[in-house]
Amino acid sequence: MKILRAGTLIDGTGAPPVRDAAVVINNGRIEAVTTAGPSTGGPPDAEVIDASRFTVLPGLIDCHDHLAFHGYELVRRWGLDEPPSTRHLRTARVASQVLASGYTAVRDAGGLDAGFRLAIQEGLIPGPRLVLSLQIISPIGGIGDRVSPSGHGSPFAHDPSLPPSVADGIEGVRTTVRTMVRAGADVIKCATTGGASSRAGHGPKDRAFTLDEMRALVDEAHALGRRVMCHAVGGPGLRVAIEAGVDSIEHGYYLDEDPDLIPMMAERSVFFVPTLTVYEYHRDSTAPHVRERARALRAHHLDSVSRALAAGVKVVAGTDAGGHGHPNNALELEHLVAAGMTPMHALQAATSLAAACLGLEQEIGTIEKGKWADLVVVEGDPLRDIRVLQDARRIKRVIKGSRVATPSTASRPSARRSSSRRTSRARASSAGRSNSSTRTPAPIPRRRCARRRSSSRRTASNSSRGRSSPPRRWPSPPSAPSGR
């Protein structure tokens, strides 16, 4: 048993912060949340983690990430520039860094195979809890169709862990959804439009699937118990996605152009994952058509977010990181605040609301009795300045269930990859810490409970916010290999 003493506790529900709280953790789950201050009791042998000088939050959740993407250049995207083993180890390092930065769960929007989920569950590598889509399903010519500008395909045969994702026609999409599920997909990722970075000729407003194809895709996914996250940027394909019944709209930059769409999303409880971070990246792309698209959509993007918030659409945090943005995923929270969210709302967008987007609101996302003890200890007050979550030196501890990691700045990647594309605001916020970036954070004192004391316990209400569909529980780690 562990007792985490929190100077300030923000539980992720949107409730005001609580001073001098304690979180009782047993077998990786939260057994109680109390406000008894230093008198909180516990078994004499309980390990006490003293975070009384810090703020404790639920572990952060990124609803749209690409942990296995390491760059937009074709040779990187297709894995031509290094052996697969090197690439996998690079991905494992990113997973570890993202966890250390406070992200205890990630929904991967394509490129990561089920082996990583297994490796993390078994403890082979550190990393966040994973909700995997495996691949992006699109028709011929869509964003999942890997054809070079010269018309050539990838020279590699498909990896059976990442099944082919080009699907055409009703039967084609049903078959592909089934194939993804067979290979271990937790969620179905598809695309109904091009995007900022897609090939020239398939832009953000160009439609991919027909409405009939999308209805079949959504029907098949839901029949197999999988939600659908849909890359949809603008134009008729954006409407197709919403009409077909997808569960989340990814990007949605041009939602503001069709007055029907945001009310439809609010009415149908469709989540909106605007991925503001990736826009900042594409705005400085070396490819002229990508740069042009990214710059053209900026005003629409911000307008869409603010209209969605006003209409009550659940807007959640997702970075679209991959080749950029890792492990500074918390930059998305700064963008959400700049787009009109309060810091508290931005925290919910990356905790309780994000958990609901993943269908895991009964398991993670808030600091409440019964949930996994996924917690971040941070120095400072993110409600005053959301950017403290981007400062590696301030992330004092990350707890994921029964695993505790003390992040070290040494585990952060070189500045070459992580900082070259950051916004000027983010750069300004990090400037003050650059001089001491090699400092090891001060350890949090640990001690054993001296004695048992009575306490006036507040057990947090186990309220359920979010969607009513049944939550999915994290599978237990597999047992030891049977010998074969």
Question: 346-385: which residues touch Zn ion (CB under 5 A)?
Answer: none
Residue (4 or 68) nearer to Zn ion, CB: 68
Residue (55 or 133) nearer to Zn ion, CB: 133
**Those residues with Cβ within 8 angstroms of residue 107's Cβ, 6 or more apart along the chain or in another chain:** 61, 62, 63, 64, 65, 130, 131, 132, 133, 187, 229, 318, 357, 358
Residue (277 or 352) nearer to Zn ion, CB: 277
Binding segment (CB under 5 A) for Zn ion, from list 27-35, 91-99, 106-114, 177-185: 106-114
Interface mask (CB under 5 A) for Zn ion, residues 287-326, using x and -? ---------------------------------x------
Residue (320 or 374) nearer to Zn ion, CB: 320
Interface mask (CB under 5 A) for Zn ion, residues 4-33, using x and -? ------------------------------
Binding segment (CB under 5 A) for Zn ion, from list 105-113, 156-164, 381-389, 443-451: 105-113
**How many residues of this chain interact with Zn ion, rule: CB under 5 A?**
2
Q: Considering the complex, what minimum distance in angstroms separates the CB of residue 64 from Zn ion?
A: 6
DSSP 437: T
Q: Considering the complex, what minimum distance in angstroms separates the CB of residue 69 from Zn ion?
A: 8
Strand order in the sheet with 129-132: 60-65, 103-108, 129-132
Binding segment (CB under 5 A) for Zn ion, from list 9-17, 104-112, 254-262, 382-390: 104-112
Residue (91 or 455) nearer to Zn ion, CB: 91
Residue (68 or 373) nearer to Zn ion, CB: 68
Q: Considering the complex, what minimum distance in angstroms separates the CB of residue 253 from Zn ion?
A: 13
Residue (7 or 111) nearer to Zn ion, CB: 111
Q: Is beta strand 136-137 parallel, antiparallel or unpaired with respect to 446-448?
A: unpaired
**Those residues with Cβ within 8 angstroms of residue 310's Cβ, 6 or more apart along the chain or in another chain:** none
Question: Cα–Cα–Cα angle for 390, 275, 207, nearest 5°?
Answer: 165
DSSP class per residue in 66-82? -TT---SSHHHHTT-SS
Residue (109 or 218) nearer to Zn ion, CB: 109
The SS3 of residue 177 is helix
Q: Considering the complex, what minimum distance in angstroms separates the CB of residue 187 from Zn ion?
A: 13
Q: Considering the complex, what minimum distance in angstroms separates the CB of residue 195 from Zn ion?
A: 8
Query: Distance between CA 53 and CA 449 in Å, rounded?
Result: 18
Q: Is beta strand 103-108 parallel, antiparallel or unpaired with respect to 29-34?
A: unpaired
Query: Distance between CA 231 and CA 395 in Å, rounded?
Result: 32
Binding segment (CB under 5 A) for Zn ion, from list 108-116, 394-402, 438-446, 464-472: 108-116
Q: Considering the complex, what minimum distance in angstroms separates the CB of residue 448 from Zn ion?
A: 46
Question: 128-167: which residues touch Zn ion (CB under 5 A)?
Answer: none
CB atoms within 10 A of CB 376: 27
Residue (109 or 399) nearer to Zn ion, CB: 109
Query: Distance between CA 97 and CA 330 in Å, rounded?
Result: 13
Query: Distance between CA 86 and CA 68 in Å, rounded?
Result: 12
Binding segment (CB under 5 A) for Zn ion, from list 28-36, 103-111, 139-147, 232-240: 103-111
Q: Considering the complex, what minimum distance in angstroms separates the CB of residue 339 from Zn ion?
A: 18
Question: 384-413: which residues touch Zn ion (CB under 5 A)?
Answer: none
CB distance 275 to 282 below 8 Å = no
DSSP class per residue in 118-143? HHHHHTSS---EEEE--SEEB-TTST
DSSP class per residue in 331-389? HHHHHHHHTT--HHHHHHHTTHHHHHHTT-TTTSSS--TTSB-EEEEESS-TTT-GGGG
Q: Considering the complex, what minimum distance in angstroms separates the CB of residue 109 from Zn ion?
A: 4
Query: Distance between CA 473 and CA 484 in Å, rounded?
Result: 28
Two tokens, residue 286: 């070396």
Residue (7 or 110) nearer to Zn ion, CB: 110
Two tokens, residue 280: 């900042």
Q: Considering the complex, what minimum distance in angstroms separates the CB of residue 71 from Zn ion?
A: 14
Residue (109 or 349) nearer to Zn ion, CB: 109
Selected from 109, 112, 130, 167, the binder of Zn ion by CB under 5 A is 109
Q: Considering the complex, what minimum distance in angstroms separates the CB of residue 144 from Zn ion?
A: 11
Q: Which of 218, 219, 158 is nearest to 192 (CA)?
A: 218
Q: Considering the complex, what minimum distance in angstroms separates the CB of residue 215 from Zn ion?
A: 23
Binding segment (CB under 5 A) for Zn ion, from list 54-62, 101-109, 204-212, 348-356: 101-109
Name the site residues for Zn ion (rule: CB under 5 A). 109, 320
